Each structure stands twice: as C-alpha cells, then as structure tokens.
Amino acid sequence: MSNKWGKFKQSTLARIVIGYSLVAWILIQLIEAVLPTFEAPLWVAQTLTFLLILGFPLALVAGWLIEKIYDGSEFNENETQAETSTLARKISYKKLFGVGIGVFSVVCLFGFYMVPFIFDKDSSINLQPRKNERQENSALSQLDGRTRGVRSLINLGNTSLNDWGLRTEIALSSNGRYLAYTSNKEGESEIFAKDLWYENSVSKLADYSWSTDVHGVIFFDEDGEWLYFFDAGILKRVRVEGGSVQVIIDEQLNMTSGYFATEDSVIYTGAENMLHRISINERTTKQLTFFDTEETKIYRWPYLLPDNKNILMTAAKLGATFEGDTLIYDLETNEHSTLLYGAYNARYIKTGHIVFMRDSSLWAVPFDLETQKIIGNEEVVVVGIHSQGQVGAASYSFSDNGTLVYLKGSDTYAGAEATNISWINRTGISEPLNIQNSGRLSQVRVSPSGTKIAFSVFDTTSSSDIWIWDEDRKTSRRITFSGLAQHPIWSSKGDYIVYQNGGSFRSSEENSGLWVVSADGTGQPFQALSGENLYNPVSISLDDKELLVFSPESDSRGLYRYPLSNDFIVDGAATKVEISAFDGLNNYHGTAISPDEKWLAYVSYETGVAQIYVRPYPDVESGKWQISYPNALSPLWGDNGESLFFWSGSEQYQVEYTVGPERADGSSGFIDLGQPELMFSVSGLQNGLTLPAWDYSAQLDKFAMLETGSSEKNTESEDEFGSAQTELYIVEGWFNEITNLVPKRVD
C-alpha cells in the first residue's frame, strides 16, 4: 500500500492535483478582489470560476494520458516516430473512446449552463447589481445583528395585474396586526385583510371597479379600524373586521392620488387638482387655499404630520409624479416650501425621518419635526419598490411599531414605453406597426379612409404632439410641434386634424383650446376655439359643420355641440348634450357617433359601474338602451350598420344590433341590441391618458390598438419572482435599522 502511495506521490497526476489546486485558489481570490473594482457583471466571475472547475478534470485526463503513453518514463526527444507510435498503442481504443465521451459530456454541460448568461442580454443585466442596490447592500452589511431588521416573506398567491400595471396594493394597520392587499381580475379588484397575529386568517373586505383611473389606493386610518379605498372614483371605507361599505366622498374624483384619513376627516386631491379636506361627520368640504397660480401643477399624496398642522405633499405635472418634489404646507398660515427635490409619495416615521420614493427605490432623510428642517443626508434604504411613477403609487407600508412591508419590483410606468400600435383582426391576430418612436403612444384615431392612424406621442410626461401613421407607405410623421398637442380627431374627408392644445399643461389662454392642422403637414396650425376651459374633441359631423367635444371640468362636465364655419372655426355658442342626469360621465365616457349619425354610444357610471348606453342622435331624449355587461368601456361602431364593439378588461366584444322603423321625421326610433360575444382577448393600455386606446377601420376590417402583448411578461415583478406569485417582503425592527442607516446630523 505504501509503495502505491509513494508511487502516486511521484506521479504526474499528483503534481497536477497540487499545482492546479494552488493556482486555481490564487486565481479565485484575484477574481473576487479585482472584478468588483471594475463593476464587472456577476456572470463574468461565474464564467471564470466555472472554467477553473472545468479545467481540473481536463488536466487530470491530460496527465493520465501522458502517463499511459510514456508509461511514466521521461520524454526523449531522440525517440523515433515508430517508437512513439508503439507507445501510443498501449492505450486501447475503448479507453480512448470512453475518455472522449466523458470530456465531451463535460463540455456540453458547461455549454448548457453558460448559454443563458452569454447570449441572454437581460439575464446578464439582471445579475449585475444597480448602483443603489450596491449602496443598500453595502450599508446593510455594516449593521450588526442587533440593528438589522429581521426579513421574511409572505406569499399572497397570484394577484394578477391591474390596468396601471400594479400587481397589488398594500396597507399595514398602525399596530401592525392587519395587512390589507388587493387581488386583481378583469376590470375589478378584491380587497383582503390578513390578520398577522394568527395563521391562515384572511378575509375579503370589499370589491372595487377600474371603471375610472381613480381606483384602489387602499389606506388605513390612524387607528387602524377603517380601510379606505377608491371605487370608480368614489372614496369609500370599510371596517377591518368587515361589514357594509360606507361612501365618504360621493363626488366622482378624476385624479389618482393618495389621501390621509383621520377619525373625523380626509385630506385628498379634488377639483382643480388642489388639496381638499372633508369632514366625515358634517360632510362639508374645504379647499386648501394655496398655489392658486400654479395651474400646471397637481398636488398629490398628502400626509399629515404628527403635529396636525403641517402636510407633506407631492407637487408635479400631470403624468409626471415621479419627477415631482415634496412640499411642506402649514394648514394654519398657508405657508409652503419645497422640502425635497425629485421625491414623491413622502411619509413621516416616528424615528424622526421622512421616507420617500425616488428612482423606484425607498429613501430616507432625517427630519426635525419642530423646526421643519432636514437634519441629515438622503440615503437609499430599500432598492426596487414595485411602483407606478405616473400617478406616484408605491407598494410599501409600515406600522407604528416599526414593521415594513413592501413588494419588490420597479416602476411599471417605464415599461409602458414598450407599448406599440398594432392592427388586430377579428380573430385576435396581431400585426404590430413598425413605428420608430421612443415616446409613449396614446389616443388612437383611424382616418375615414381607414389607412391612416393619428395618435399622440408623449416625448416626456408633460410634452406631447400629434403623429400620423401611413399604412400604405409604412411610415409615420409628426404634424404638430407645440409640445402641447393631444387628443386628435379627423375631419370627415380626412384632410384636417382637430386636436386639443394645452390641456392639462396649458400655460396661457392664447395657446390653449382646440386647434386645427392640415393632415398632410402643409400650412400652419390655427386655433378653432380659444379659452381656458379644457375640451377634448370627440367627433366631427359628416358635413364638417358640427364639432362634438367633452369637458372633464368639474363645473362643466359633459358633452357639448359646437357649430363650425367652413374653415373649421367654432361659429356660435355650445349646446350641451344631456345624456347623463346623474353626472355619470368622466374621462372614460368613450362617446362614439354611428357612421350614419343617427345613434350615440357612451359609457356612464350612473348605476355605480361602467355600462354602455345607446341613444338616438341628436334627439337623445327620445330613447335609451343599455348593453348589459359589467365594466364595459370604449364603444366603437362597425361600418355595416349591424355591429357595435366594446372593451372589458383585456377582452374585446361584439354586439350585433338591428334598427327599427324610422319615425316620420326620418330619425331612428328603436334599436335592438343582441348579446355580447367575445371576439378576442388582447392586452392593451387603457387609462385616462391613453384613451381612446383603439379604433376601427372598416376598409381593413381591423382594429388599431395600443397593445402591450402579455401584460405578465412586461412587469418587473414577473421577471424577479420568476412566476405569477406575489411575495411581500416583511422587515421587523425596521425603525431601528433606519436609525442606524440614516443618522441625524450632529451640529
């Protein structure tokens, strides 16, 4: 036995084992020390390490072959070719074949392992920590076990996505006992409460509809007894133990925002995008008097500080909450100032810090409640929060006892840039258009010829212009250059585009209003209707003599008819089209006039949910019919006088109809609507900024749609979790962690 061991120690294999192990250990240490200095992706270190591991058996095979060929003797350069061939024949072909198969298998295994990292760009990017993530990990690594929070996971199951791309919304009660969260399905969401003090204690509290942009935004009051939420723009609440739902604000709000609820009042974003305060008991509402000159700003996400006199809020342009700033406002003096720049959805925690969202991550900064001053540096505390920067929503919540709950992810609004316009036929086959534009596409309108599409492009969240896609030439071109243009509609002959200029971004009456531009790009745009009132053009009559518009303003909400002159200038006063006696219209009204101009279809919420109604036109008082289908939006008329189309969730439906005998005056007196039939199911981007998200081309018998493909594939959480399961991170003792991560400045 000792002879064999001694012989092995003198063998080539022994020298290879010792030498290779030493060299490999040194190289691994260098890889670990050097690559992070150059911020090399993680897959580079993995690849080099795997090559070193793979090289070990290959080196052993090579050593074994050398010993077999030369039988342990030294190599003699004077050996003849014949002698070498004789020595080589000492190895049987079976052994060589076996060794070759083994080496080939190892190489194939290596290739199978490395292909995803080498050829998948997304995988390689995801493996490299972001700058903020490295900062967070570096800071956490400096904390000892006494100051670092305990982390765990809660699996909520498959909660799907809502129309804003959010997988779930969460709220934690002040005592940390109840975790409220939402689960989404087609056109609506369910609210559940999980009692964290007991196992498997989950109860359903309420449902709410996505019928408007304003839905969800769940929030506990200070005592943790009531859970507040928006249902189709109506603010409601329900007790955490369950029971009947109470309506708090019966006016349908049109701006998605957080709010702050106390025992007797709620602060929220209301009319004119200003902050309001409603007394729950007295049912009286008061607008906070400030910022009356800041017309281009929207004030969202109010948070009442513990002194009960100062409010944190986000001030930003429409659709650009993630670019907003955090202000502090004194309820007693009406004084205000900017506290944090580039920060939104800010909240105060008992450690004396303000936490806020920036770059899809949660930050913290020390704050002196008495002096209202920042007293330290801003630091990243959680990297990668599931959020929606357009409206400022973020999936995180914390309790007064220092427990943090959050959903890992990123800004779903950034993923909206991938949205494209596609032609969809009646069977759901998609033909994406090759539109070379980096902006966000929205507001689709097909020309009367059916071969051109007008649409809005938001280059930034507060800058938009009108473009036209030419189906025959397969090209797109820009036709407005004001940076304020949106909501295009075609003239009856397709030679002009009427659009809204200014809108929510208006800065002066001179530039705001309705404008007209030639569809071929010639000539200069001209103003058809001036004024500070906000109007969205809906349609132009077949003779180009009448313009139908919608006003979303709270004091003038509804449809209006304007007479037009021969050169598209508004020529006379407006006539309101009284179609909803219960103020059921909002930005989702989806008004559509039939091709023969005898019928009007629209969406109303007069029953509490979105329903499509059809009326004779222009005599809307002479009849009213309803399409019985929940959460029905965006009606379109077919060109054959037999079909009406609509959208519900991510499904698209068709309704066949027949028209009864005409009256003596030639108007339509009756319409018989059939049962809705599913045409196809295509995920699209449909919200207040993108509507209308589809239109119909009778010539092509296709739909132009803002398509997002599979919504599940376009979400950050899907990539990170690797499945449709929603997992929340829980950090206990988070306040202690924040205190050590973000220290206060000592003067």
pLDDT digits (tens, 9 = 90+) for 699-741: 999 999 998 754 333 333 344 434 468 999 999 999 999 999 9
Could you tell me which residue, 176 or 530, shows the higher pLDDT?
A: 176
Give 491-501 pLDDT, tens digit per residue: 999 999 999 98
* 186 and 227 housed in the same domain: yes
pLDDT band for position 118 (cuts 50, 70, 90): very low
Using one digit for the tens of pLDDT, what is the confidence trace for 325-357?
Answer: 999 999 888 889 999 999 999 999 999 999 999
171 and 104, same domain (yes or no): no
Which runs of E-coded beta strand occur in 505-572?
513-518, 526-529, 536-540, 546-551, 558-563
Mean pLDDT of 444-460: 91
* The last residue of a domain, from among 256, 284, 307: 256
Instruction: For residue 447, tell me if it sits in a domain.
Output: yes
What is the average per-residue pLDDT within 220-225? Answer: 91
Q: Is residue 393 part of a domain?
A: no
Are residue 9 and residue 81 in the same domain, yes or no? yes
* Residue 73 predicted with pLDDT over 60: no
In degrees and rounded to multiples of 5, residue 602 shows phi and psi of -155, 165
Quickly tell me which residue has 């068709």 as its tokens.
654
Same domain, 535 and 678: yes
Write the CB contacts of 620 (distance below 8 Å, at least 6 apart in sequence).
577, 578, 579, 600
Specify the pLDDT at position 389.
Answer: 87
Q: Are residues 601 and 644 in the same domain?
A: yes
Number of domains in the chain: 3
Residue 300 in any domain: the answer is no
Identify the pLDDT of residue 36: 61
261 beta partners: 266
Q: What single string gives the DSSP state of each residue in 253-278?
A: --S----EE-SSEEEEE-GGG-EEEE
Same structural domain for residues 94 and 229?
no
Note the pLDDT tens digit of each residue in 352-411: 999 999 999 999 999 999 999 999 999 999 999 999 888 899 999 999 999 999 999 988
The pLDDT, as a whole number, for residue 81 is 47
Q: Are residues 488 and 625 in the same domain?
A: yes
29: containing domain: 2-126
pLDDT for 99 beyond 90:
no
Residues 191-205, mean pLDDT to the nearest whole number: 93
282 domain-assigned: no
Copy the structure tokens of residue 47.
Answer: 């690849």
Q: What is the pTM of this model?
A: 0.70
Confidence band, pLDDT 50/70/90 cuts, at residue 316: confident
Shared-domain flag, residues 605 and 655: yes
In a domain, 27, yes or no: yes
Q: What is the pLDDT of residues 257-302, one digit of tens each?
A: 888 888 888 898 887 778 888 888 877 888 887 654 445 678 889 9
Q: Rounded CA gap, 227 and 241, in Å? A: 10
Say how many C-beta atoms besides its own lie within 10 A of residue 216's C-beta. 21
- Sequence-ordered strand ranges (E) for 113-162: 150-158
DSSP β-bridge partners for residue 604: 611
The single residue listed with the structure tokens 């190599």 is 75
pLDDT score, position 643: 94
Which of 570, 516, 504 has the alpha carbon at shortest distance from 213? 504
CA–CA dist 426, 420 (Å, integer): 18
In a domain, 480, yes or no: yes
From the list 160, 165, 197, 164, the residue with the least C-alpha distance to 181 is: 160
Tell me how far apart the alpha carbons of residues 519 and 480 are, in angstroms, rounded to a whole number. 10
Report the pLDDT value the prediction gives residue 13, as an integer from 0 to 100.
Answer: 66
Query: Is residue 660, in this structure, part of any structural domain at all?
Result: yes
Question: Averaging pLDDT over each range in 62-76, 231-245, 583-597, which range is the top one?
Answer: 231-245
- The pLDDT value recorded for residue 41 is 61
Q: What is the CATH number of the domain that holds 185?
A: 2.120.10.30
Q: Kind and range of the H or E element at 390?
A: none
Residues 576 and 661 reside in one and the same domain = yes
120 pLDDT band, cuts 50/70/90, is: very low
Same domain, 13 and 77: yes
By residue count, the chain amounts to 747
User: Do 122 and 166 sit in the same domain of this protein?
Assistant: no
Q: Is residue 692 part of a domain?
A: yes
- The answer on 519 and 441 residing in a single domain is yes
The tokens describing 729, both together, are 């991170």
